Amino acid sequence: MERASADALEAEPDGFFDILEERRRDSDIKHALRTFNPQPYRGATPTSASALNRMVLESQYLSYIIQEIALESDEPHEVILEEASSILEEMGQNLQLGFIRLLGFIMSKVFKSLFRSIRVNQDGLTRLQQAIQEYPVILMPNHRSYVDFLVVSYIMFTYDLSIPVIAAGIPLMGMKLIGEIFRRSGAFFIRRAIGSDKLYWAVLSEYVRTIVRTGFAPVEFYVEGLRSRTLKSLTPKLGMMNMVLEPFFKGEVFDISLVPISISYDRVLENSLLAHELLGVPKPKETTGGLLKARTVLKEDYGCMHVYFGSPMSVRDLVKGKMNHKQYNLVPRDLPMKPNKETQEFVSGLAHMMVRLQEKNVVQSPWNLMAFIVLQNLQGIDFNQLTHRTLWLKRLALRFGAHLNWPKHISDSEVMSSSIMLHHSVVCCERGRVNLVEEAGPGPVSQEEAVFRRAAAVLMCASYRNQALHVFNRPAMVAITMTTAANNRTDDLFRRFNFLLELFSNEFVFIPGQVVQDFEEGCSLLQQSGIIGCSNKEVYVRDDSQETVAFLRAILQPLIESYQVVFRFLCEESSLIFREKNFLPSVRSFIMKLLISGEVHSYECLSSDVQKNVLSALLRMAAVTKTKVDEQNEFTVNKAAVKRIWDLLNGEMTPRISSDARL
């Protein structure tokens, strides 16, 4: 039978090729039933899913933890072992080729209906094929859509690469039939709220470590933890990261390869759903019935998807000079060992680096750039002016290192028109003027409803801007510092940049301990682009670049206003103490009134994710403290500290700087 081959396909000029092209020419059933012959990890011994589970249950590590729990709880060893077995039965994958073939057939039909093309970098597949044979491989995609969960396995199946086992959220397991298909296609299911459940943590960590140690299959997980509702990168979660790295730290494998994967969409299936979630509308429960009702999405056009497989990163090379993992030699491999501070810092830095690599290789669409311009012109913008401004931004984005999928064989005007047509649920062009599209509803609407509809439209558009925000955030932060610093001396600008980085560290992903590099990167991009100049340790804006600096500042203005309005809420509240469950509704009501009165202008202030990030920043900066009362989180506000941070953000005070963050 024929087999799809990356080598047989002609790559596009930019190094990507469309994996759906052959599917449109050939039989889907033939593709699903073809010979599948991947080259596995050379160190692996063929193991069934049931044998893998037995290895976990019979491991010395799990026996040790069960013995500890038995002593602490005074329950019999056998009862706790039975509970561990039940956890594993709920959690475990049951990878079967027959179900991979079934999913491959279904996904060929679905993907051809949804997408014009799915473009993959050929050199990435070649590197991955080699890496899988040499060492255990960890696949680390970004997470922007439910489609992410399926597309990597589909690509791996199409090009004869070992099918990964995938860490999935427990709600997917509850979907009748679909959950079982996912399980038999390699998904293993993890509870969302594990908390301090010692046995669950032990079963999960031993399960993951056993998969890595035995080379059972590549492991795929989302280092961001959750699907991003704003389509920005999320601060990485370190639980799974620690688990997949521990076999290397303990010397059970010689090396591990980490592969960052960047998935980007011209149009995201869940765009409207995500915007409404940010405005407080509850997320629909994942059910098979809901999935079947959502099949109407198959009639829509979602443009192109790009999947970039990054270069495999050797953990053995990355760890050199960063940490001494000989500490693990002092404790038997089968015993639990809490990582020391050095190990924690290495794992955290590595996780942040993987997210940055995901960002670096994301392919941007023209609409991602158009969204920046549209959001700075909410009153509407002339189509020709939008085209002119987007082409200007395109040049700037390319100078800043963006990867851009800009169609080569049609006019720029056609590129713009086709982008507007693709995103007809977000923008429209009438009589030569481009405006956001707001939800239609019956009869007259209240002021609150009008604001809600406007905010939903803004947040839908903002999600596409957010996919490209990492390209501009460092230069934009430098531009902000040049407005709010007392003078333009480099050290003063750096002091204010360091403050912004600390404040916004939940908004953007910064590698810990690299604030100097981030500041220098922002300055360097501006200088190389001819926007700023440096003389006698002072930075100045070139005469012909004032408009560019103003544009960069405007990119972050909605974020700054969001933080300012939450600070105002906390400072004006009569109570110094509030419960977590009351925070978002109270803030949302406060902001809604200010938007209606015109005191606040940015509809992005209503985003619950930003509001949560402000609270996290204040906790980190010790302006708010958190305690547990009656099983609920309670926050105490230090209004003076909040006011000080507010003044710093407004440029009314000069931030102090710690000794470990100096130029």
Using pLDDT thresholds of 50, 70 and 90, give the confidence band for residue 2: very low
User: What is d(CA 24, CA 97) in angstroms, rounded to the nearest whole number?
Assistant: 23
Tokens of 151: 């597309």
Look up residue 528 and give its two tokens: 């190389």
Q: At what angle do helices 198-214 and 77-91 cross, to 10 degrees?
A: 60
Which of 7-21, 224-238, 507-521, 600-614 shows the lowest per-residue confidence on average (mean pLDDT)? 7-21
Q: Model confidence at 7, in pLDDT bands (50, 70, 90)?
A: very low
Q: Is 550 helix (H, G, I), strand (E, B) or coil?
A: helix
Helix H or strand E segment including 262: strand 257-265
Give per-residue pLDDT as tens, 29-44. 999 999 999 988 887 8
pLDDT bucket at 660, cuts 50 / 70 / 90: very low
Helix (H) or strand (E) holding 60: helix 60-73
Residues 398-437, buried b or exposed e (16+ Cβ, 10 A)? eebebbbbbeeeeeeeebbeebbebbeebbebeeeebbbe
For position 12, what pLDDT does the model report?
A: 41
CA 639 distance to own-chain centroid: 33
Question: Given pLDDT bands bounded at 50, 70 and 90, which one contains residue 10?
Answer: very low
Q: What does the pLDDT read at residue 445?
A: 81
Report the relative pairing of strands 304-309 and 117-121 from DSSP bridges: parallel
Instruction: Please compute the mean of the pLDDT values over residues 71-76 and round it to a whole number.
Output: 91
Region of 40 on the Ramachandran plot (φ > 0 left; ψ -120 to 50 alpha; else beta) = beta
Element (H or E) spanning 148, and its range? Answer: helix 148-158
446-450-452 Cα angle (round to 5): 115
Under DSSP, the state recorded for 489 is B
Distance of CA 102 to the CA centre of its chain: 29
Report the DSSP pairing between strands 433-436 and 427-430: antiparallel
User: Does the pLDDT of residue 292 top 60, yes or no?
Assistant: no
375-397: pLDDT as tens digits:
999 999 999 999 999 999 999 99
Other Cβ atoms less than 10 A from the Cβ of 252: the count is 16
> Of 129 and 324, which is predicted with more confidence?
129
Written as one letter, the residue type at 253 is V
Q: What is the pTM of this model?
A: 0.92
In this predicted model, what pLDDT tens digit does every residue of 491-516 receive, in sequence order?
A: 999 999 999 999 999 999 999 999 99
Is-contact 510 352, C-beta < 8 A?
Answer: yes
- Whether residue 216 contacts residue 41, with contact meaning beta carbons closer than 8 Å, is answered with no
Compute the distance between CA of residue 222 and CA of residue 142 in angstroms, rounded to an integer: 6
Question: C-alpha 408: how far from its chain's center?
Answer: 29
| pLDDT value of position 595 | 97
Q: What is the pLDDT of residue 649?
A: 94
State the Cα–Cα distance between residues 437 and 453, nearest whole angstrom: 9
Name the pairing type of β-strands 137-141 and 219-220.
parallel
Q: Give the C-alpha separation, 41 to 297, whole Å.
A: 38
- Alpha carbons 562 and 604: distance in angstroms, whole number: 7
What is d(CA 559, CA 553) in angstroms, rounded to the nearest whole number? 11
The answer to whether the beta carbons of residues 350 and 320 sit under 8 Å apart is no
Residue-wise pLDDT tens digits, 117-168: 999 999 999 999 999 999 999 999 999 988 898 899 999 999 999 999 999 9
Angstrom distance (rounded) from CA 611 to CA 566: 7
- Name, in order, each residue with C-beta under 8 angstroms of 52's C-beta and a sequence gap of 6 or more: 92, 207, 210, 211, 214, 216
Residue 309: its H or E element: strand 304-309
- On whether the CB atoms of residues 309 and 125 are closer than 8 A, the answer is yes
